[in-house]
Structure formats: structure tokens, C-alpha cells
Amino acid sequence: MANTSSALSINVDVLKKITKLAATEVNGVVGIPNKNIDLKGIVKSKNPFAGVKVENVNGALEISVYIIVSKDVNVKTIAEEVQANVKDKIQTMTGSAVTKVNVIVSDIKLKDDEIETDETEE
């Protein structure tokens, strides 16, 4: 009898959208920057990503997400909440194992300044 098992494949863009959704659900997170940045925080054009990077390492996911937080929040607490929420959402919605969630605070919204974010992405 032939093996009829099939594999599930989820597009990286879907994983990025889930990550953005999970990060912005946390109170105190204002948005995700939409400027192209690398892991060192430098605006670049070589291998850039906009706010979220998803890597498959040995069958498990490693996620890096840049966030913008509002003023007067505990950054450490917000980052820990984002880590937990992103890991939970990805694992619950996709069944994929998440081994690492890096949260990088890229900016703080000090007042009603307009910050270029990626909140309106479909």
C-alpha cells in the first residue's frame, strides 16, 4: 500500500502577518516599522526585511520582530509579552514549533509624532 501522507507548507508572508498581528495585540506596542532594516538595526538594501524576519532552522522557526512602543511603558515587560504572544499565535495557528522569538525595540513613540509603521497591511 502506498504512503498517502502529505506535508503542510505555510508561506513565510503568512507567518510574518501572524507575527505582526500577535505583536500589535500587546498593549503598549504602537506598531511595526516598515522601513527595511537588518538585524544590526541599520537601514540597508542588501537582504532587508520590514519589521519581521522568519527563519526555518532545523524544522523549527526562529522569529525576529522589531516593535515601536508607546512612552511610559515597561519595555522589558512589553518585550516579554510580545515574545509569549508571538510564540503562542504561531504555534496555535500553524502547529509549527517556535524555538526563538527575538524582540527588538526599534523606537519609542514620545508624543503624537507620526511614526512610519506597517499597521495598515492587509
Spell out the domain ranges in the chain: 21-109
User: What pLDDT was estimated at residue 120?
Assistant: 43
The pLDDT of residue 119 is above 60: no
Cell 538594501 locates to: 45
Q: pTM to 2 decimals?
A: 0.77
Average pLDDT over every residue of 49-66: 90
CB-count exposure of residue 79 (10 Å: 0-12, 13-18, 19+): buried
Query: What are the C-alpha distances in Å from 101 to residues 14, 30, 43, 74, 79?
Result: 16, 19, 21, 18, 10
Cell 525595540 locates to: 105
Superfamily name with CATH number, domain 21-109: Cation efflux protein, cytoplasmic domain (3.30.70.1350)
The pLDDT of residue 52 is above 80: yes
Measured between alpha carbons, how far is 119 from 112 in angstroms, rounded to an integer? 16
